[in-house]
Every structure is written in C-alpha cells, then in structure tokens.
Chains A and B, each alone.
Chain A
C-alpha cells in the first residue's frame, strides 16, 4: 500500500457558469470553466496547477474551497479539526457539506490571493487583518490573540510593531506576507495559493517563494499552488497538473513532467517559456491561434485545432483522462506512443 495519506481527493468536479442573454436573461449557454476534473493532493506535498489565462485555475481553487458552488462532483477532505475522539481525521465531502461543517472546514482550508493590493482591507490595521480569523472563529481573544498575531507576523518575516500599521504602508511583497500570516492564523492543513507571486518583482518573488517553502516545513502544510509561470511551478511543486480549457490534460511528478511529457500541450507550453540564455536557440514549437472559448469548445479533443499531432479521431472523439502508470495521468489518445520533446536541461 501507499505510504502517504491523501488529504484532498477531487472527483469529477464541474463548474459551469450560465451565460445569459436578452431582456429575459435567459440562459443561452454555459461557460465550462471546470469541466470534469480529477486530482488528489497528498498530505505535506505541493501540487502545482498551471495553465493559460481563463483555463479555469482560479475557478478550480474556489470551487474546492466552496467559495463558489460546484455544478457537480466530489471534494473529499480529511479534516483533523473535525475528527472525533480517537479518530485521526474525519473525511468530509466539501461539495455537499452543511453550512455548519463548512464553517468548521474553513479553519482547515485557507486561501492566499494573487493581488496583494486589493485582497487586504485598507481600513483595517495589519494586526486586525491577521487576527480577524481568530475572532470570527472564536479561537483566541484579547492578549492571547495579540500574542498569536505577533507570532504569525514573526513567522512570515514581519515585525511585531507592524501590527498597528495599514496595508498601504507596505510594499507588494510585504502585503503578500500579511496575506500569508492571515491564512496561517487558524493553523490550516491546506492552503490554496492563487498566483501568490505573480504580481511581484522577481527579487521579491524569490523571497516569498522561499518563505512559503519554509512555512510548509515548519507547519506541515499542504499546498495547491496555482500559477501561470511554469518556472515558478516547477520550482515549488512536487507534482504538477496542467490545465487547458477547463480540463486537466496532464498530471504527474514535477521531474517526470519536464523530462517525459506525455501531452502535446505540455510540450508546447514548455517550449514557449523564454529561457534566460542568449545562446539558447532550439527552435520553439509555436502553437497557432488563440485559446478557444470555453463557451463553445472544439469538438473531440479540445486541443485538436492547435495540436500538431492531431489525427482524424481527435476531431470527433474526446480523449479520456487516464493513468499511464506510475501516477502519470494524461488526456490524449496517443499519450503512450508520442515521443515529445522534454524541457531543455543543463
């Protein structure tokens, strides 16, 4: 048997947004933002979720947390805080959990947002922002709460006297640290980080990435790390899921993805990343056209209009997401037979 615990197990998760038109606001179509995805996250690992703008990364994160209601699917979570006497954990389906259970679950599952500017209330002091979850969940108050906030600020590399200041007095990187301190307040098991470093300059980005790695170790955290920057995802993740038009097209161990990709989209994505070396002149695989609309995705394999390996079957038959062995999942008819170009190494 496996030597790890699965903390979060997502099955057949769907989120369709209605598209309304006309005076009657009739539903004329659906945006299939998350279109039947399966994935699991192991305790203590970082699962990276990568893909281009609009492919459904944020919606996946928010649906898992049930900040938005899923259209269908299961989100099984092993909660420590909900565990009864003598139990190590209690398994809950977040997708169908009651309001009360959901509130308790919030303590276990936290989120960090992309935008360090708009995600913090400008009228609250840093102390109040970081301490708010403690108040809402009645975990600590008064002196105890203040001490906890001090501790949290210390953990993310800020000073205790920063408590009395307001968000606008901080730089982007520092604001992101405040957001992280807040997410840590309730001692969560899982943190969903939605593009936590995308808005930061590279030198600051590196500081925040290192901090997230340190905190993971210190507090035994599990991360779902959402980003569009493949280099960042590669750096931080143990396993990576690649999304395209609401579907996971490939999911496997990080090193495996970069050395032995099985999906043509992954290959193209890796090839497109600009390499910081002027002597690097391997020809890029250029994808033609734009990402199609999730309202009206192509027939068969969603990737077929841009895929250079597409055959006739790809136009009519949708490939299924399947395990190719060794926990390497891919959604392509020819995943076993294609020989794709790995990322450049050395």
Chain B
C-alpha cells in the first residue's frame, strides 16, 4: 500500500501575463519508508508539486485544477485536494504527519525566536506535551541531528548557526513530530560538499530510525543516486520518466534524461572529454510547445512529436517514460 498517490495533478497559476501550468498532469506514488527523488531543471514544477501535497499553494494566483492526492493511513484513504487547506484536518496532517523542509531556509526559521522555541512550539502544538518535556524533546532532537552541545544551542538564534547547522535544526524541527512523510526541497543545495555529505548521511540514518518516507527534491543527479529508491524526472510541469533509481541511471530511456546525464562532467573519467549539452533552453512557460514539451531541444524528435503529447507509459519493467520513441 503506497503512502501517497498523486493522480493527474494539475496546479496552475493565473498571472497577468497568462496561465502558468506549473504542474500539468503529474502521476507519482510515494511508498512508506522509501525515498522518492524528484529531479529537473529550474522552473519545471518540483516545488509547486510539493507545495500542492502540503496544501500550501497560494490561492490566488495558484489553483489545483484537477487531480487527486490520495493519502493512505490506518487503512483509510483521504483525498487531500478535497480538504480545506486552512481547515483543522489539513493543519493537523501538515506538521504532524507530513512535514517539509523548505528551499529557502530562512522561510522556515523565524529569526526572532530561538531554535529551541521554534522546535518546542511544533512539539507542543502537535504532541500536546508540557513546556518542560517539550524542551527536553527539542534538545534530544538537536542531538539526534548531530548538533554539538545541544543544551546550549537550543537557546541560540538562527543567525548564530552556520548554514549546515541551520539545515540540521530545520531537519530536527521537521522530524520532531515523527512524520510519515518528509518533503525536503533542495535541502543541501546551499551547502558546501563536505557539509552536504554530513547532512545526506544524517538524513539516510534518520530515515532508518524514524521510518519516514522522503520526497527529496534536487537538481543534482549525484545526490539523487545517493538518496533515492525511486526517481521521477520532470520537464515543463510534466513527468517525462519515472523508475527505480537503478533503472534511471543504468537504463535511461527518455532523451531528456539522457541529455541531463551527458551534460554533467564526471569525476570518474580520467580523459578530458567534451560534454554533450542539451541544445537550446527551457521554453518560456507561456510558450509551451504543442506536442512533446522537449521537442524543440530533442535530438531524436520526429514529426509526431510536434503535434501530439506523448503519454507516460511503461517502457520496461517498473519503468515509465513519456516519449514517442517507445511507441
């Protein structure tokens, strides 16, 4: 039984310049205790898809047009899109059961409160503990995420922590209620590699101890390889490929995913090899191609690609791709 099933989700933004189809018919599932990696270039809809699950799409200008976000728990199924995002049930799910680490660290940490106060607030709100117990729990969480001298750090303000420590504090806060799903939006992009390695290692360890599923958003294929069990590749608001991590890397099907893999310089090769970039740029959100979104940049484009949108379908076992090459 999956934890989250997203079906044909469409989230659009109505702006002065026109409609942005930020998420345009997306299907994916998150299994309990597994990590789903979401990859794609800037603007492809990774954050909007996550915010849709969280019920945090700002309306207006945004709106979930169609689709279902089925949340399975205790044998019950709830369609999150049917709940009032500001209502009691959604609020209790958010934070208690589904927690998120945001792309901008400063949007989730309030600069005027101590780290400890912010974690305690989440604990008191969701777990109904007394203040003293909540403080103890907050210190425990800071310890669990590897913050040295947590009894002291608990009383410090966000600006007193380094980038890596702030990221750890956010993870501590997100995990303090033992959520069944943790959505992590580029949690290490702003960090140095040696600190990133620490945080990724920490997240992998926590996943085992807390039995949490993770939706891990990144544009870094190296990070995905290290973290994800399953992967979805997004382009222009659509999923173009979806498979297990091993299939994505060893049996790449979609021309866009292949293009991404060829674009990254490898640490492994000893020879100086020329990179093979993807030509052109991601189209403007208001000038999305009529057929396959990748057609203007695709080296293998055919006539049909210009006019018809390829469906996401099985191209190998447990491996879906949206491309007319596999018709």
> Which residue of B41, B226, B228 is within 8 Å of A201 (Cβ)?
B41
B104 at the interface (CB under 8 A from A): no
Contact A344 B268 (CB under 8 A): yes
With the chains together, A52 CA to B275 CA distance in Å? 25
Which residues of B (264-304) have their CB < 8 Å from a CB of A? Answer: 264-270, 272, 274-279, 281-282
Which residues of B (41-66) have their CB < 8 Å from a CB of A? Answer: 41-42
Contact A287 B194 (CB under 8 A): yes
Contact B195 A343 (CB under 8 A): no
Closest to B284 in A: A171
Q: Which residues of B contact A (CB under 8 A)?
A: 41-42, 148, 162-165, 192-198, 200-201, 219-226, 228, 245-246, 249-250, 259-270, 272, 274-279, 281-282
With the chains together, A97 CA to B272 CA distance in Å? 38
Closest to B229 in A: A278
The 3 closest A-B pairs by CB, nearest first: A274-B222, A235-B265, A206-B277
Contact A278 B267 (CB under 8 A): no
With the chains together, A207 CA to B279 CA distance in Å? 8
A269 at the interface (CB under 8 A from B): yes
Contact A290 B225 (CB under 8 A): no
Contact A345 B268 (CB under 8 A): yes
Inter-chain residue pair count (beta carbon < 8 A)? 133
Closest to A54 in B: B192
How many residues on A have C-beta within 8 angstroms of the other chain's C-beta atoms?
48
Given A206-B276, A278-B228, 19 further pairs, Cβ under 8 A: A206-B277, A206-B278, A209-B265, A213-B274, A232-B265, A234-B267, A236-B265, A269-B193, A272-B196, A272-B197, A274-B225, A274-B226, A275-B268, A276-B261, A278-B225, A280-B226, A343-B267, A345-B268, A345-B270
A273-B222, A284-B197 given as contacts; is B260 within 8 A of A202 (CB)?
A: yes
Q: Give the residues in chain B near A345, CB-CB below 8 Å.
A: 268-270
A96 at the interface (CB under 8 A from B): no
Q: Give the residues in chain B near A213, CB-CB below 8 Å.
A: 274
A299 at the interface (CB under 8 A from B): no
Instruction: Say how far A253's CB is from chain B's closest CB, in angstroms.
Output: 12
Closest to A259 in B: B270
A270 at the interface (CB under 8 A from B): yes
